[in-house]
Amino acid sequence: MNKNKSRNIFIIVCISPAIILFTLFMVAPTVEVFRMSLYRWGGFSNTREFVGLDNFKVLWNDTNFIQAFQNSIVLIVLVAIITLVFAIFFAAVLTKEKVKGDNFFRVIFYIPNILSIVVIAGIFSAVYDPSTGLLNSIFGVLSLESFQQMWLGNQDIVIYSVAGALVWQAVGYYMVMYMSSMASIPASFYEAAELEGAGKFKQFTSITLPLIWNNIRTTLTFYIISTINLSFLLVTAMTGGGPDGSTEVFLSYMYSQAYGNSTYGYGMAIGVIVFTFSFALAGIVSHITKRDVLEY
């Protein structure tokens, strides 16, 4: 009996700080996001008024939100596809080919992932600078002046500039992920395929790809969730959503409405939509990419 009591005390002492802090600083704010989205709160009045789904109705016709929505979709699709292709290619090369200095490449490729997003924003401000930027000066040296752009000033291309920075940041991380699952594929599979006369590309599509498929599916969810998050952090630090809203993304619009504009209720309604949207999208993608798991 006494032993049982000391066990219970031990359990409570060990887990209650974690549970209390987790509830206070993560669960409660998350619940608040959903609750506040039903109130009109902020601006110059400090009163809260329950308005039901009114915030969502306003959102439906908010052209700024629709633009942020489009920008986010463009970024998610572009960043996911380009990063996926690059990361898988380099992972396959570094695991399957006997490359000299493979460790060096792996170490270098992972570097962007350890940098603060603010530093990345600074780096790409320097790369994209119209007059003294690295990118334009390369085109100048190669006499390709027609390629020189206002990378962050031109409304039509700035979203692709942002996508470039996000891909740069992400390739190494996903490459390391794919490398670890490729490394667990037995070499005998490739030897057998070699004997049957299958080329490298054939080996890749019929052995590597099916066997790491589950890993790829998991990372698709990561791409969606992390692009929504990182595009916000990068855009806030690099372009501030400009020029003229052309790089405004989901969460940057939410943040500027809730924190900058103090229309908390409206900002939180955006948060609810984005939260729901990202989960729905992740669910759909995960569902349509479902294949029978290959055992090996």
Partner 1 sequence: MKKSKGIRTETLYKIFIYVTLIALAITIIIPVAWVFLASIKENAEFYGNPWSLPEGIHLQNFVEAFRDAQMGEYLLNSVIVTTLSLFFLLVIALPAAYVLSRFTFMGSKFLNSFVKAGLFINVSYIAVPIFLMLLGWDSGLQELFGEGMFLNNRVILALIYASTALPFTIFLLSSYFVTLPSDFEEAASIDGAGHFRTMFSIMLPMAKPSIIIVILFNFLLFWNEYILALTLMPGENKTLPVGLLNLLAAERAAVNYGPMYAGMVIVMLPTLILYIIVQKRLTQGMTVGGVKG
Binding to partner 1, residues 104-163 (CB under 8 A): 104-112, 114-119, 121-127, 132-134, 137
Q: What part of residues 48-77 is at the interface with partner 1 (CB under 8 A)?
A: none
* Closer to partner 1 by Cβ: residue 60 or 104: 104
Own/partner pairs, 23-29, CB within 8 angstroms, 24+ separation: none
* Closer to partner 1 by Cβ: residue 84 or 258: 258
Q: Which of 65, 90, 151, 266 binds partner 1 (CB under 8 A)?
A: 90
Q: Which stretch binds partner 1 (CB under 8 A): 66-74, 142-150, 154-162, 265-273?
A: 265-273
Nearest distance from residue 16's CB to partner 1, in Å? Answer: 9
Q: What part of residues 208-247 is at the interface with partner 1 (CB under 8 A)?
A: 218, 222, 225-226, 229-230, 232-233, 236-238
Nearest distance from residue 53's CB to partner 1, in Å? Answer: 19
User: Taking CB under 8 A as the rule, does residue 290 contact partner 1?
Assistant: no
Half-sphere exposure of 102 (CA within 13 A, CB side): 13
Q: Which of 49, 97, 194, 244 binds partner 1 (CB under 8 A)?
A: 97
Q: What part of residues 179-208 is at the interface with partner 1 (CB under 8 A)?
A: 180, 200
- What is the C-alpha separation between 173 and 110, in angstroms, rounded? 6
Name the residue type at position 52. Answer: G
Q: What part of residues 12-51 is at the interface with partner 1 (CB under 8 A)?
A: 13-15, 17-19, 21-22, 24-30, 32-33, 36
Nearest distance from residue 11's CB to partner 1, in Å? Answer: 5
> Nearest Cα to 235, choosing from 257, 260, 256, 214?
256
Own/partner pairs, 113-121, CB within 8 angstroms, 24+ separation: 113/169, 113/170, 113/172, 113/173, 115/169, 117/169, 117/230, 117/233, 117/234, 117/237, 118/237, 120/165, 120/168, 120/169, 120/234, 121/165, 121/234, 121/237, 121/238
* Closer to partner 1 by Cβ: residue 61 or 264: 264
User: Taking CB under 8 A as the rule, does residue 8 contact partner 1?
Assistant: yes
Beta strands in the chain (DSSP E): 39-42, 45-50
* Closer to partner 1 by Cβ: residue 25 or 44: 25
- What is the C-alpha separation between 230 and 219, in angstroms, rounded? 15
> Nearest Cα to 81, choosing from 216, 228, 281, 246?
216
* Closer to partner 1 by Cβ: residue 78 or 128: 128
Strand-pairing partners, residue 50, are 39
Strand-pairing partners, residue 49, are 40
Size of the site for partner 1 (CB under 8 A): 87
Strand-pairing partners, residue 39, are 50
Q: Which of 65, 69, 86, 266 binds partner 1 (CB under 8 A)?
A: 86
User: Taking CB under 8 A as the rule, does residue 277 contact partner 1?
Assistant: no
User: Taking CB under 8 A as the rule, does residue 93 contact partner 1?
Assistant: yes
